[in-house]
Structure 1
Amino acid sequence: MGIKNFSGPRKKQEPEQTPLSVRDYMTRDLITFRPDQSVEEVIDLLIKHRISGGPVVDDDGKLVGVISEGDCIKHVSESRYFNMPVGENTVSNRMIRDVETIDGDMNIFDAANKFLTARRRRFPILENGRLVGQISQKDILKATVQLKSQNWR
């Protein structure tokens, strides 16, 4: 005779839903820059905060561009070549104005693919035209480490 289980029928357990959207992993507390800042000030902030670039926003918090280490290096190089003082240029003259963004609801794996095809280090995330966060390649890597025990669908 077999052993009977008296605990009754078990509830079917639903698989735990793991957050997979960009919004769940984006950085919200950003170092931002203003168009009227000097490139020298941006260089100091990039070094101080150990970042490789960041969004440029106007007084209303609207994204107007992105500035990176490469933009700053180009400024330093050209200043040296033309024998111009380093601190005379502003962010608005060096930033990239045509900024590609990512939707906060995008799946992180689709975002990873976008990083590969666009060859960018970071994408700003906007809501109603205002900057609400940024996703970087490192954020994608952090998300995959957190999810490595999960089944990715």
Structure 2
Amino acid sequence: MVKSFQGVRMAEPKKAPIPQILVKEYMSTGLITFKPDDTIDQVMEMLTKRRISGAPVIDASGALVGIISEVDCLKEIIKGKYTNTPKFPAKVSEHMSIDVLTLSPDLSIFDAASQFLEHKIRRFPVMKDGVLLGQISLSDVIRAFPTLRQTTW
């Protein structure tokens, strides 16, 4: 019978946990927002001017009540073409998405990427304790990955 003896070993030092890359580090703040009573004309003008594809809709108290996007505006454009009306007076509340999925600012950017793939949407409002803090878009997430170092991957 052969016995193996490896002797006393030094315990390997514990490595510090790799810091997570979080949504709050890449989300946009200072958002363009709309009110439910704004018109689609106003939305299209602002989306075009700011070169964005959508924005949160908040009520008078600042609570998130929906999201309005370019796709939502298309509904009114099609209606205007059908009725031969060049103006788009419909209210945001008539076309906004009201089933809004949100993300936490403390969610990892990798988990956020998974949410984008799962739900196939372009933006998530970022909320904490019922307060709108910002928004993270698919392009924000894509922009984050080239800056990651090998140690944070």
Give yes or no for the alignment of 1:82 onto 2:93.
no
Normalising to structure 2: TM-score of the pair?
Answer: 0.84
* RMSD of aligned alpha carbons: 2.0
More displaced 10-residue stretch of structure 1: 37-46 or 18-27: 18-27
Q: Per-residue deviation at 1:152?
A: 3.8
Question: Helix, strand or coil: the match of 2:88?
Answer: helix
For 1:88 and 1:48, locate their aligned partners in 2 and report how far apart those are by CA, in whole Å. 19
1:41 counterpart residue number:
42
Say if 2:102 and 2:124, in contact at 8 Å, map to a contact too.
yes
Aligned twin of 2:61: 60
Once the 2 structures are TM-superposed, how far is the Cα of residue 16 of structure 1 from its aligned partner? 8.9
Identity of counterpart residues, as a percentage? 43
Amino acid at match of 1:98: D
Task: State whether residues 75 and 86 of structure 1, in contact with CA within 8 Å, keep that contact through their aligned partners in structure 2.
Answer: no
Corresponding residue for residue 21 of structure 1: 22
SS of residue in 2 equivalent to 1:139: helix
Contact 2:102–2:127 under 8 Å retained in 1: yes
**Residue aligned with 1:65, SS:** strand
CA distance in 2, matches of 1:20, 1:146: 11
TM-score, with structure 1 as normaliser:
0.84
- 1:44 offset after TM fit, Å? 0.3
Distance 2:47 2:126 in 1: 20
Measure how far apart 1:133 and its partner are: 0.6
Structure 1 residue runs of 4+, over 6 Å off? none
- Separation (CA, whole Å) in 1 of partners of 2:134 and 2:59: 15
Tell me the equivalent position of 1:151.
151
- AA of the residue aligned to 1:145: P
Structure 1 position 17, deviation (Å): 5.2
How big is each residue's C-alpha offset from its partner over 1:123-151, in whole Å with a ceiling of 9 and x where there is no partner? Answer: 0011221211111111111211211x333
Preserved CA contact (<8 Å) 1:28 1:132: yes
Q: 2-side partners of 1:95 and 1:86: how far apart?
A: 18
The one-letter code of the counterpart of 1:49 is R
5+ long unaligned stretches in structure 2: 1-12
Distance 1:138 1:104 in 2: 16
**Any stretches of 5+ residues in structure 1 without a counterpart?**
1-11
In structure 2, C-alpha distance between the alignment counterparts of 1:19 and 1:43, rounded to whole Å = 37
2:141 paired residue number: 140
What amino acid is the match of 1:60? Answer: S
